[in-house]
Structure 1
Amino acid sequence: MEHIYNNLQDFFRSMGLPLQQDTELTVHPLDGLHSDQPIEAPLFRTNYYSFLLIRSGKSTYAINGHVFDLGPYSFYFTNPGHLKSFKIEVPLEGYMLTFSEMFIRQYFTSDFYQHFPFLIHETTPVMRLEQGDFAGLEVLFQQMEQEYLSHSPYRNPILANYLYILLYKTKSLLVTYQALTIKTQNRGAEIARDFKGLLKANFRSLYEGKASKVLSIKEYADALHMHPNYLSTVVKAETGKSPTDWIQERTLAEAQTLLTNSTKTITEITFQLGFSDTSHFAKFFKRHAGQSPAAYRKATAL
């Protein structure tokens, strides 16, 4: 059975490699992350986005049944929830960037995925870049690494702006290299994709004041014209997480974003997220975040 990793630190710990992580966005050189010996990772899923820029080395990477060769000037990304594995034959040099849904919610607006729809698509092929395109991206990754290693109190907002640039460059490269999304023939994957699209749309409507509550699993199932139990089974099989897990994680991320980046009162946030009262919201938040909404807001205030 595949394992699900919530962050990069957990993933490398599983491989016996130490790596510290204290933010929801990380930038690391690939040099030295793995041993000099060939290494093969069993099937796994991650709950974060990964972008890899490879200067040299040799590897194969498999996602959702598709296998890609990686070598010099390779650039690719993976989205949360997909089943993947990799095998490194010659040590890789380059950069790896990871970021979470929470980071997106904290630093970007509700129409984020409308600008970057490739972040919710199915499998996207590896791009083999021309030297000039590779060099431009490498400079950007180097700048991000330098900021990531800094102790600036504004490190995360600066990294968010760099990420915005990277995503627009990625969007442009997808067109230049015609790296079209690989359409899956798996009906289960299509259902999981459609569910995640509806989930994002619901929270976007909540953010914009166009919806009054978080949709239930039954309401998602009705929208997709299927039984709730079938939806739950399919989403769990395809992503490793149940619809309930997806809804709760998104609710928590939205709550944390509002507590950190808005001046709304806890009562206002309670009703914006569709909770019936502040007590219910406070219990939900403490159960998932380990502290009360008020304590979280105080701890994250600059």
Structure 2
Amino acid sequence: MEEIKRIDTVVQYNNYVGVETLHPLVSVVDLDKVDNIHRFKQYMNLYAIFLKDNNCGAMNYGGQPYDYDDGTLVFVAPGQVYGVDSDGEIKPSGYALVFHPDLIKGTQLGKNIKGYTFFSYDVHEALHISKKERKTMIECLDKISEEIDQNIDKHSKTLVVSYVELLLNYCVRFYDRQFITRSHSNKDVLVRFEKLLDEYFGTDHAQNLGLPKVSWCAEQLFLSPNYFGDLVKKETGNTALDYIQNKVITEAKAKMLGSTKTINEVASELGFKYPQHFTRLFKLKVGVPPNDFRHLN
């Protein structure tokens, strides 16, 4: 079994790539200055953002070219494993920003970091950026580097964290752009999502397995839960959970108006363990309880 190296501190990461540590909690690494590396896997207890230079031609997604190939951003959160899968040596190119969770502890960014959902995206959901976007990223990294090069004082943390937050907010903007440029492929995901739910409720899956979870749907569509949720939200305006619940209500209405089944039977067929949970959701979505809806119609 391949050994997984544990990286708990910025110093450990800097030592691994062979660069000097200028700040114990944050580092910007020019990967072009790093020696060739071999295949490895690392368990990271740090936040990391890798800006990789692309030298492999135009990218493809869903069988069609799209986006930009001037750089790729990959995000790693504490507790994740990342690595390079290569049989020989490779020459890294680009930049790495790594920072310890303690850097943002007690700051507004620390409170909001979970809102940057792309830290939990899969590698194939990475952010592909244009020359202009890449320039913006490097400008942010340069600002962080300049501040790290200064003598640490009472302003250092505030300024570094503000530049990191600025970089992350640009990433949010660029991901929004990427969702737009992938609109055709995203709509294909929604079609497959709808078909998946049709098949789920058209069989006995709901009765045997319960209501479909967002994570299960994402897995069936070969997407990470966070990326899938963000995609559905941006394409429909609803969360993936809302989408599933709306589908449940549509199925419930059809069952109640097209048969003489009791409300408890309908709830059971839709995957509810407790009928009162079904009644509560139905009233929340429709405005009236299931029995009232049936009588009114």
Rg bigger for which structure?
2
The normalised TM-score by structure 1 is 0.48
1 or 2, which has the higher helix percentage?
A: 2
The normalised TM-score by structure 2 is 0.49
1 or 2, which has the higher strand percentage?
A: 1
